[in-house]
Every structure is written in C-alpha cells, then in structure tokens.
Chains A and B, each alone.
Chain A
Amino acid sequence: MIVSTDWLKEYIDIDMPLDELADKLTVAGIECVLKETGKRIPEGVVVGRVLEKAAHPNADKLSVCKVDDGSGETLNIVCGAPNVEAGQRVPLARPGTRFTPDFELKKVKLRGVESEGMICAEDELGLGEDHTGIIVLPDDYEIGRPYNEYFSSGTVLDIDVTANRPDIMSHWGVARMVSAVTGAAFRKAPVDLHEHGPDIHDIAEVHIENTEACPRYSARVVRNVQIAPSPEWMQERLEAVGLRPVNNVVDAANYVLMETGHPLHTFDHDKLEGNTIRVRFAEKDEKFVTLDHKERVLSEDVLLICDAQDPVALAGIMGGTETEVDENTRNVLIESAYFAPGVIRRGSKQQQLSTDASKRFERGADPNEALEYARDRLAALIADLGGGEVAKGAIDVYPEPVEPKKVSLRLDHVKRITGIEISPEDCRATLSRLGFTILHEDERSLQVEVPTFRPDVEREIDLVEEVAMNHIERIPSMSRMTISVPEAYDRFHPYVTGIRNFFIGHGFHEAVNNSLTGEEAAEKGIWGYPPLKVMNPLSVEMNVLRTDMLQPLIGSLQSNAAKKRSSIRLFELANVIEKNDYSETRAEEHYNLGVLCSSPLWGLNWAEEDKAAGIFYLKGILHHFLDDLGFHYKLNENRNRDEFEILYDIVVRKSVVGKIGQYNEGHFEKLQLKYPVAVMELQAGKLYKWYSPEKKYTPPSPYPSIFRDMSLVMDKKVKAAAILNEINQHGGKYLVDCVLYDMYIDDKKLGDDKKALSFRLEFRSDTQTLQDKMVDNVMEKLFKQIKHQYGAQLR
C-alpha cells in the first residue's frame, strides 16, 4: 500500500520529519519505508537561519547575509532575493551541494564579496517555477536539518500491510495511526453535497437475493455528468500512489477508495437494463466479460451484481465492460456496498483475480460509516468535477445493520500481558485516537466500542495489543529469568550431534538436500517406500517427498562430478517419508542418516599409492559407528538391486535398520568418476529408541596379551566372514580380538582356486598371565575346527 504524505496531510497535521514518522509508525506495527517519488532536493541543502542582512557594498540589488547552518559556524552569503530578511529560516545550499551531476556549488566571489553558499528559491530546488524570491520556511524547522527531510511533496510511505488490518489500506487508516503515535487529531474532508432533480428511488432500484453475502447495498445517482480528464491535483495524487488516471468519474472513485479504503463502483446508469441492480450468486458455468476484457467462466461461489437481465460486475472484485463509464456516459450510478469477506475471498480465488477492491473486501471493509461517507463523497466529487447533479436521496438496502462490538478492557490484564502499568489515561488516549469510543471507564477497566472499520478487534486481547503496540518501546527487558525444569531434558539432539561429529571427524562433509524430489527418483528409494505426493508441486521434479537419503545424495554426487570434483564424501541427516494408509497425514517420517563416498582412501600424497576408499572403507566406518553406539549388527546380502555390485541389509536386533553397498562400476559411467561409489543409509531415529548413552566400565586387564598368527589356505569360494565368525565363536574365553591382516592370492603357488588368509589373534585373561601352552592348545583346536568345516590348511 502506497500512501502519499502530501495527501495524508489533508487528514492530519504532521509536524515531525517524515523519516521520524516512518520509524514511529514502523515500531507501532505499520511497517513502512519513506520513498521519494519524483522531485528531490539536492543533498547538502539544509535549514538555515538568517542572522543578519546587510547591503552589498558594490551592488544595489544584492545583500550580504550571515546565515547559521546549524554546525556552529556562520556562513557569509551573497543573496539577490528581495524577500530575504534577518530571522528567517531558509533552505541553504552549502558549498559541495551538487545540483546536477556536473554542477557543484563552490565558494565564489560575487562583486568582490565571498559567498559561502546559496539561499534557494523554488526553481533552484526543482520545486516549481518561482524565482521571485527565496523560500521562507516555518519557524519550527530545525536549523541544520537537511531540507529533504521536511520535503513532503512527492514523498510516499510504502507500507507493508499485515493481513489483519484492512483499515490501513487507506489514507484515513494511516492518518489514524499517525494520530495514535503523534497525538495530532484526525479529520475527514468535508462533503459538500447538493441534491437536485428526481428522487433516486424513481430512477433506480436495488434487490439483494442473499443478504448474508451482501449485507448492505447502497447507491446514489449523479446525472448529466460531463466526462473529462480529472484535475491535475487529483491525477498527481493518484499517480503518486501508483494509479493511472482515466477520467473524472473513474478517478474520483479511485480517489475516494484510496482516501477512505472503501471500494466503490460506478456504472453507466443508462446501460443498466431496467435501471435495476440485483445481487445474486452466479450459476454454474455462467459467463461474464470483466473490465480487463477477459471472458470468465464462473462457479456458484462467485457473487454477481446484475441488472434486470445480465451480470454487470463480479461483486467486490471487478466490473464489466458492458456498463463501464466511458466518454459518452451522462448518468452515473454509484455503488457503495458491503460484501461478506469469505464470499469475496472465494470468488477472487476461484477467478484468480485480486484487485484493489477484492483485497479490501476480503479482509473486511467498513459496512457503516466509511460506506456512507464514501458514497456521498464520491457523488459530491463527481458532481463537482463533472458538472453533474446528484439525484435526491440514496438507495440503501441494509436489512440487518452491523452493530459495533463492545469489548471491555481490564487494566490489570494489560499489565498481565505487557508487564507494565499503562495508565487509564494512556489507554483511553491511544484507543480514541485509533477511532475507538470509550463508553464507560472506571479505575479498573474501560468499556470500549469497536468501530466497524476494525473487524480484527473482537476480544480483550485485541485491545491489549492496540494499547501495547503504541507503548512497545516503554516495555522493559526483564533481566531476571526464571527457569522451568522439564521432567527430562531432550537427549535426541546430543545423539544427533554425536553422529554428525563422528562423520565430520572421518572426513565427510555434511550435506543439506531438498526434501522434495521427482517421482522417478523417489520410486528408486532404497527402502521401497511408496512416495507421498504433493498436490500443488512447483514442478514435476519436486512433486513427491523423498523416500530415502541416497537418491538426493546421488544428485549431489552428479552435480559435484559435473564440476570435476573427484573426492566426494557426503553425509546428511534428515527425514524421509513413507506413505501409508493409517496415519492422519498418510505419512510416516523416518529420521535417517545417508552417507556417500566416492573418494580415495587418502588424499593424493607422496607416500601412499592412490587407492579408492570404496565399500571396504565404508564397512569399516559402519563397524566403528555402530560399535560406538553399542550395537551388535549383522550384514545380510541383499540381491534385489541390480544397480549394486554388492548390497547388504544392516540388521540390528533382528530388524533391518540400514543398507550398505557399492554401485556397479558401470552405473555412473556418464559421470566419469575416479572412484567407486559406496553408500550407506541408517535409520538413525529408529536406532535412537534402542540407544543408551549409559556405558559401564570394565577394568582393563593387568595381564599381558599373547599374540598368535595363523595363515590358512582355503578354497576361494569360502567367505572370509565365515572364517572370522568361526574363530570368534571357537576362540575360547581368552580370545579378545582377531584381525584379518593379509590376503594372498597366487594362482601358480597356491592353485587357481585357492587363497591364503592370515589372522592375528590376541589372547588375554583378566585374572592371570596366560601360558603359551594354553594358547597353543586353543590355536590347535581352532585350526582343527576350521580345517574340518572349510577344508583349510595351514600355509
């Protein structure tokens, strides 16, 4: 919403600099920015005060003035204006002021006397044509203050109107807010209405079919109007607030709209069939051509204004071409009506048409005072500008008048919410300036009548807000704090932080991906969840919620690969969504961890060869990770996915909690990756339910360990995991660790179906120093067991 400050002054006196006013309004809840629309006074021009005026020694028409510019120094200025006098406040351009890009004011000697600046006339500042004398400013202008700050013509307040304040969408509304913050009195422009000729009831009639949708419809007729351009002052004001002038009738209607906030419509009275207005809902698929020349197909939600035969306007939204006021119009019917906000909102949504009128009606217009004032004001303006005459009386169909609400305000409640005492006087002053009526008042409470232009105010708390917003700067910051202790503090966040730090510590970058993805990607999700659709997506690439962490990470892999990043190590923690039939929202959220690794084991360096990290690296990470959290796990091979060279289900407590695998080498061929792509996904949220941060300590054994190596030759098809499992199962109570430290394949030496695996076993007791013999016995038994099970031989 744009409000012209010049226009605003018609309803309220503003005697503070406009930027200060804008700040005050902003703090009081009317967020606004002061903007210059056109003319602008050059920077460097300040308010100066003429201290002395003396005759110029060498020129009759010049005088030499001493001028205070507020800085403490007195400037010597040669001035040619006849009207300059000591004591005046004047616009003073100091040296350095740039009037145009190539004209900078400098100290000059004029007829032998140095002039340190210029006292300005209207034309010099681009304010007008007048060069007969300098501008004399009001006495309350602050010396030294940039003149720009007082310059109101061509300045506007650009206001961000909140959804609850339809009243602010007008100069009246803003003027009332100015009144609340400055204390100046709000006034309306007087309406000078002269009625002539026939009674309106003889030349027009109005019928409302649905008075819930249209509680009030009022009309006036202005006859014998001469359509012409509107006067310049009106055009300027409309342009300042961003409206295009059309003709005197249309402009006057817009003018009153911007003045009062009440939307009006003007019909060419002669084009209204049967001189009749009928308000009804549209029939299904009824067609209507609006002022923007679009043929609209209507639904039964849309309220129409019709004449005796056809629709003539979408009520409260936009008029039609058929009855539009044009250059041949002579008689004008003014509509000033009130429509139910929900009806206009539905119609506007259905037609996807939002106008100055609909924006106000759907938030709530004023059915009473503004409606009547706007109707009469517009009639008077049209008669004045178009030379017509206003027919006698007004049609007013208003079967059930909207009564103003009465709300009481307890002063202790104000304190209960704001934390400060606001005196009854202050409460009363603020509320009256905002247009509220105080019906009754005692020491403890006020009985307040809420004006009907404030549909947002219904409850006591709404009044508290009105008062509080205008005293918001008075509310202190409570420095003493109370603590409320919950039954138990959240432990999920520390858990997640632990996971995050683990992966950062292992050299992974944390990613944040879009949760919205395309159906195709979501269907490839590693869990096979059905994707949840978004009904109004931004695009087909974002029409469902992600079903796993891996697909978005693959997306990140692709974008990184496209930039030739060769080492890509990412992880992300977020929700994935599973569509189901039983949740209220049809969605189950799983908080998951995704990890992707396509990188070398080490960064390229002089000592180690360039080896890929790959699946074995990630398996190591997984082991370390789950071990840290205290989980035992199993990996079960999963053969359901063709894109994977190897894929395992990660099983904890007999339940699949994750996946780990490596993609086929060819799967990302196009990306020309340097390293294979290993991934894993874990249900971090599910694991949390089983996780306990509590750990018990085991005393470290004071006795030394005994190490034994065992190299075994076996068939290649025997799985290493099986041998490790065998060793761990049969290694006896002293076996504390077993590491597979070498794998050797040599088709010539071992045979092409054999491999050799070397294990290092660590034995230790908590109660004694182990004897070699005890360990040798275990080793022997172990070897026999493995030989029996897998046909392995010692190497």
Chain B
Amino acid sequence: MTKETILEVRKQFEEALNRAKDPASLEKVKHEFLGRKGKVAGLFSMMGDIPPESRKEMGKMLNKLKDDLSEAVALRSEAFASGKERAKRIDYSLPGYAVHRGSQHPLTRAVDDMLSIFERLGFDIAYGPEVETDWYNFESLNFPPNHPARDMQDTFYTEGGGVLRTHTSPVQTRYMSSHEPPVRIVAPGRVYRNEAISARSYCLFHQIEGLYVDENITFADLKGTIELFCRLYYGKDVKIRFRGSYFPFTEPSAEIDVSCFLCGGKGCPVCKQTGWLEIMGCGMVDPNVLKAVGYDHEKYSGYAFGLGVERMVMMRLGIHDIRILFENDVEFLRQF
C-alpha cells in the first residue's frame, strides 16, 4: 500500500458518490467503501505490511480518508433526506442573516407625507433655486428695500449679489412669472437663516410653500384646505385656530395653530401651556405680488401658505435639539 493507493481510493469514492442519485445507491456506495469489508477497511488491514518508519504517516492519511468519506456520505444523505428528517438535525433556531436595513430621513419623510396630502388635494409640485435673487426672495414678495420686514428674516448674502433664500415663497413668484392662472402648487425645499446654531435653531431648514391663484379664491377656501390638511396629517380630532398675523406677501395674513397633540390642548411644556402649537403662516396673496408677476389682481385672487418641516418633525418625534437632524448619526437614522 502506498500513498497513491489511498489517493486512488479517494478518487474512486468521489466518482461513485457523484453517480449516486438516490438514497439506495448512496447506501451502496457507503457499503462499498465504508462497510466492514469495504475498501477503507481493506486498506486498514494492510497496515501491517507498512514499514514502521512510515506507519505513523500512513495511519494519519488513512484516518483522514475515513473521516472525509464518512462526512461526504453523511452530507449527501442529508441532501437526500426529506425536509422533516432534516429539520430534526439542523438547528433552525439559528438567527437569520444580518441584512442591512436602510431608512428614510425623518425630514424628507415628513415632506413626502405632506406632499402626498397636498397632491390628493390637487396641488402640483414646483421647485426653485436655493441661491436666489433679491428680487424673487424679497422685492417681488412686497418686501421693499430698507423695510423693517426684511429684519424678520436674517439673510445670508452670497458673492455676486445673490441671497440664500430665506423662505420657499420666491417659488410663488417664479412659478407665476412663467405660468398663467390658475396655479395650484406646493413647493418643498431648503431655506436658510443667518442665525447662530443652537438647540432651537439651525442655519437651514425645510419649508413647504403652497399657492393657489384663480378667480374667486377667498380666505374661506384657504381655511377649508388647511383644515382638511390638518385633519389628514394630525388626525380628524385636531382643532385648528386661525389668528391674524403679518407677512409682507399676504394680506390678510394669519398664523395657524393646531391643538397640542401631546396634551390635547390642556397645556404642557411643548405648547408652552397655551394648548396650541403654531404650525404655519398663510394668507391671501397680496395684490402687489400679483402685480409683480403681471396678474390682474382685480380678476384673480389667491391664497398662499408656508410651513416649517423641522418644527413639525421635532414636535412629533419629541426632539428637543434640532441639531440631531443634521448630524447623520447612524444610531439616530436607523430608528426611522
């Protein structure tokens, strides 16, 4: 017996195993090689003829052969076994493979949720640039130069005379400049404010702007649309309050409060004990804005609204520090 003999037996086994296509023929192969009078046993019986100096090495090889063959037969037998039989032998309690799980950022998720509501209400989606001209960001929206209203929004100015838009409202005048009425759009996007970064404010945030201009649009239409939106977004029991306010580009202007969904309007720290949460600003499009885009303000009227996404997300998720929304800590992101 030599090493070659052992390799030969291994080769024969492999070929025989490959030919075995059912449990019966596998049993035959097992008998032929691993049986009491099988080929492996035959090799073991020849150990006596081996010279003592190589007996140890040959013994090792033979044992390895026996182990490998047994394992191969067992594996194949496993494959032939019925599901139930295998289930007895395989530990199916092993956990599933760890698949990577992705997530949508809570901000874009909220934007999507809100857009889908407005889309159902017949609004189209429009966009505008983040680096804006002074005309679109301010003047077209009835912010005269040197007017205190410009102080309402701390502005970043860019080289060459642009501004980082301080609101999504310039999309109103951009869209109207290139479309004839009726227009009915919502415009999501990033806006910027030159405010020191803190737990409560960040230098950028997301807004959704809404605009509807047509003949015979009134404040009552605005109320109806916003109430429907709030009921769809916050649930049907939400209470809504419109209160007067001021924005240069709408008149009359109003702020919209919803009853605090954390305390149900009883008063809590989130709503500062008022029972109300301020969620958006709105109003009837100022005639000067319609004039700026060449619309006949005696024929057309319309409403506009704008809401801050971060505020809504923070209130809903109970986030107290806005900065976490822009840190992209995977341990934060994976929660959504």
Contacts and interface: CB of A to CB of B under 8 A. Distances in A.
Interface of A: 26-31, 33, 162-165, 341-342, 345-346, 362-363, 415-420, 459, 461-462, 464-465, 468-469, 472-473, 475-486, 489-490, 492-493, 497, 500, 503-516, 532-538, 542, 545, 556, 559-560, 563, 565, 567-570, 573-575, 577, 579, 584-587, 589, 599, 602-608
A275 B87 CA distance: 109
B312 to A, nearest CB: 15
Given A507-B99, A584-B133, A513 B326 contact: yes
Interface in B61-120: 94-95, 97-105, 107-108, 112, 115
Highest count of chain B CB atoms <10 Å: which of A416, A420, A602: A416
Contacts of A162: 245-246
B317 interface: no
Interface of B: 94-95, 97-105, 107-108, 112, 115, 121-122, 124-127, 129-133, 146-149, 151-152, 156-162, 164, 179, 182-184, 190, 192, 194, 196-197, 202-204, 212, 214, 216, 218-221, 223-225, 227-228, 241-246, 248, 251-255, 274, 284, 286-287, 301, 325-331, 333-334
B159 A586 contact: yes
Nearest to A468: B252
Nearest to B224: A478
Contact of B146 (A346, A363, A480, A589): A346
B329 A31 contact: no
A115 to B, nearest CB: 32
A500 B104 contact: yes
Contacts of A500: 104, 108
Given A28-B244, A416-B218, A507 B102 contact: yes
Given A419-B220, A493-B125, A560-B330, A469 B151 contact: no
Contacts of B115: 493
A506 B159 contact: no
Contacts of B122: 481, 483-485
A534 B157 contact: yes
Contacts of B159: 532-535, 579, 586
A277 B242 CA distance: 49
Given A472-B243, A484-B184, A575-B190, 13 more contacts: A27-B241, A29-B243, A31-B243, A341-B148, A462-B251, A477-B227, A481-B121, A500-B104, A507-B100, A511-B105, A545-B131, A559-B328, A586-B159
B212 A567 contact: no
A560 B330 CA distance: 7
A419 B218 CA distance: 5
Closest 7 CB pairs of A and B: A29-B244, A507-B100, A603-B98, A419-B220, A419-B218, A586-B160, A585-B162
Given A532-B131, A565-B329, A512 B183 contact: no
Highest count of chain A CB atoms <10 Å: which of B100, B149, B164: B100
Given A342-B146, A559-B328, A585-B161, A477 B184 contact: no
26 contacts: A27-B241, A28-B243, A28-B244, A163-B149, A417-B219, A417-B252, A465-B244, A475-B242, A478-B221, A479-B224, A480-B224, A483-B122, A484-B183, A485-B122, A497-B112, A509-B333, A511-B105, A512-B108, A515-B192, A560-B328, A560-B329, A567-B100, A569-B102, A573-B108, A577-B131, A603-B100
B203 A516 contact: yes
B160 A585 contact: yes
Contact of B287 (A459, A482, A483, A606): A459
Contact of A559 (B183, B214, B254, B327): B327
A33 B272 CA distance: 10
Instruction: Provide the main secondary structure of the chain B interface.
Output: mixed
B301 A416 contact: yes
Nearest to A562: B329
B251 A465 contact: yes
A477 B223 contact: yes
Contacts of A464: 251-252
Contacts of B254: 29, 472
Given A345-B146, A560-B330, A478 B218 contact: yes
Contacts of A416: 216, 218, 301
Contacts of A604: 98
A575 B202 CA distance: 18
A284 B97 CA distance: 76
Contacts of A567: 100, 330
A327 B132 CA distance: 55
Contacts of A31: 243, 245, 255
A565 B246 CA distance: 47
Highest count of chain A CB atoms <10 Å: which of B126, B164, B204, B330: B330
Contacts of A602: 97-100
Contacts of A33: 274
A536 B157 contact: yes
Contact of A511 (B149, B151, B333): B333
A606 B158 contact: no
Contact of B151 (A27, A163, A508): A163
Contacts of B162: 532, 584-587
Given A419-B218, A490-B126, A559-B328, A509 B160 contact: no
A497 B212 CA distance: 25
A493 B187 CA distance: 11
